[in-house]
Chain A
Amino acid sequence: MRFIAEDAIPRLLEHLAGGGRTVWAPRVVRDSVNTVLFAPWSAGEPVETGAYTHLSAKAALLPPTERLFGFGYLQAAGEERIELEPEEPEESPVLFGARVCDARALAALDALFFPASGGFNDPGYAGRRSGLTVITLACTTCDSACFCSSFGKGPAETDGSDLILYPVANGFLAEPVTDAGSELVRLDLFQDSRLEKPELAVTARVETAGLREKFIDLFSDIDLWRQVSEKCLSCGFCAYACPACHCFNIFDEMSGDREGERCRSWDSCMFYSYTLETSGHNPRPEIAHRYRNRIGHKFSYFPANRGEILCTGCGRCIRGCPAGVDIREVIRTVQER
């Protein structure tokens, strides 16, 4: 296998950024208490390869706000016209330091937004996705929120990655998954190595088999949904941290009254406003209705419609929930009914 030394990582990132591509990497946020987030990297900046990020890597593909197009009202020959200004497609980024739980969530996002995987053609997403390079850090340790072993091959999953880096003493063993990955390990930043791949982490597990049907059976049991969501405060954190959640809201913002931009921003089904209708009626008035949707969409509707579970067991929603909600406990309670 090939090996790359820890201190060669900045040079690898420089190489990747060479063609003008944006390289996203985990970084410790300045002036914060160890908040680690994916962010565009520039030469000279440190990269964090040991810690988990508090939000997933999805912002590299689905930015929190994306400008869809600009528009303006024009007067021409006594008539008013609307002029559209389309967005230039962005170049595909590089995602360095994703974890298996970030990389495998791409399958779910692709199933919706990427025509090559049977999804709709979402120009923004598809543009960034088509030439995306994903370099994943394999997990040799995990914490008590991780539960990716519940899905597929768990920490050994290679889906969604181009290259996997296994941490060993002073560096990483590099295992290519795709042609793009094979090309990278041919760089002379990498050397041959006889080291053995390290043992991977073994995480907590939850049983999701049968959940798809079980959820439908229990849909009307509102007391159950009230019980499992009683701690929840109905914020947007869990959806925004999740590598697989992808809902958005579309809106126009004007600058003056002649021109503006149409944007989309992340949205969360845990917000009251998410299903609020213009009439004032809200089909999901209670937190329980909204939390039920969170579970249903992840483990029942999306698997039924698009063949993918919308959870990779990354544990981010558990680590960061201000109210201490643990989605695994919810799944267990539902499964035990």
Chain B
Amino acid sequence: MSMNDLIPAIKKVLEEVDVVLGWTRSPAAGVAVPARFHTPDEADGAIFDSTCIHNLAVHLPRLKNSKVGIVAKGCDARSIVQLIVEGEVSRDRIRVIGVPCPGVIDVKRAWRCYGFGKKIEDAGGRVHMEGRSVPREEILLHKCHQCRDQEPVIVDLAAGDVTSMTPPPPPDKSGIRERFAAMSITERREFWREQFSRCIRCYACREACPLCFCRDVCSMQTREPHWTGGQVNAIESEMAQQVRISHMAGRCTGCEECERACPVGIPLMLLLEEQNKIIEELFAYRAGASLEDKPPLLTYDINRDGGWR
């Protein structure tokens, strides 16, 4: 795909909607940043490349009163579908522009390893950062390695040829997944105690998550219900996060936005991936995989399933 396909697609969709959510290039950082396009002129600044890491679906529930177009990678499309399935977003007020995704670069990891703001060039199977270069598969986001969703499940207009790519094998660069899998339950307890001891309760994880819709009345923060204390310490912070994560059961699409947003690098995806795996095994359900599927934990019927005992 080139911008030759994307920009006209956005302009076309703009004829029907108030705003299109997409990406433009950050003048300071050189990578993609989210942008809103209201006019054809603004749309000339649209880009799509492998630094388009953000999941723009997070803005849809916040734009309830507008008709919205959205540029979506395959994984983003799953979040959109899940929002529709849950009734958070209505199908008729959105237009999805599907883009063919080559797998996105873990920009946060790249910058934390090689220096913030280093120019990122993705060419010839390698990612170049001002003199350094690493094989592409070493610096892709983890989810891209297992991607089963290159083809968006919901598309109104495809910008270019939305075809599949072969996901490279899943390496584990930090080794953390393997080490975590090998830990005993006691070691895991210790591990999470240490991880959450540096949580600052900024709730960036929650705000970046397209499916976390309680937001302003989230139990991580409210006094009513008062499920977690307001102290910022390992125990309360973990409790707050565990509540959030269990509320994501059968809803999380594994988009990795929460982990990307976390400023102190807590590997939240270890918990979510585990939970997503269990949900898929138990209910044969992948959140956002189809507009027809019913989320297993939203189908409880008080009459049929026996009511509260």
A324 at the interface (CB under 8 A from B): yes
Q: Which residues of A contact B111 (CB under 8 A)?
A: 319
Q: Chain A 245-261 against B: per-residue CB contact (8 Å), 1 yes, 0 no?
A: 00001010100000000
B34 touches A323 (CB 8 A): yes
Q: Which residues of A contact B203 (CB under 8 A)?
A: 235-236, 271
A235 touches B109 (CB 8 A): no
Q: In this complex, which of B109, B207, B263 has the most chain A Cβ atoms within 10 angstroms of its Cβ?
A: B263
Known: A52-B116, A143-B117, A322-B257. A31 touches B231 (CB 8 A): no
Q: Which residues of B contact A34 (CB under 8 A)?
A: 112-113
Known: A145-B28, A251-B223. A235 touches B202 (CB 8 A): yes
The stretch among A85-93, A96-104, A226-234 that forms the contact with chain B is A226-234
How far apart sit A175 and B226, CA to CA, in the bound complex (Å)?
A: 51
A145 touches B231 (CB 8 A): no
Contacts A/B (CB < 8 Å), 29 sampled? A29-B264, A29-B265, A32-B267, A52-B116, A55-B264, A65-B231, A65-B232, A143-B117, A144-B28, A144-B116, A144-B117, A145-B28, A204-B28, A230-B36, A233-B207, A234-B207, A234-B215, A235-B207, A235-B261, A237-B204, A241-B263, A251-B230, A272-B215, A272-B216, A319-B111, A319-B117, A322-B204, A322-B208, A324-B29
Q: Which residues of A contact B208 (CB under 8 A)?
A: 233, 235, 322-323
Nearest CB in chain A: distance from B196 CB, A? 12
A324 touches B202 (CB 8 A): no
B10-40, CB < 8 A from A: 26-29, 32-36
B117 touches A145 (CB 8 A): yes
Interface residues on A, range: 35 or more
Interface residues on B, range: 35 or more
B264 touches A64 (CB 8 A): no
Q: Which residues of A contact B115 (CB under 8 A)?
A: 143
B222 at the interface (CB under 8 A from A): yes
Q: Which residues of B contact A329 (CB under 8 A)?
A: 27-28
Q: Which residues of B contact A287 (CB under 8 A)?
A: 62
B231 touches A265 (CB 8 A): yes
Nearest CB in chain A: distance from B214 CB, A? 11
How far apart sit A265 and B108, CA to CA, in the bound complex (Å)?
A: 28
Nearest CB in chain B: distance from A29 CB, A? 6
Nearest CB in chain A: distance from B7 CB, A? 20
Nearest CB in chain B: distance from A289 CB, A? 13
Q: Which residues of A contact B229 (CB under 8 A)?
A: 253
Closest to A326 in B: B28
Closest to B222 in A: A273
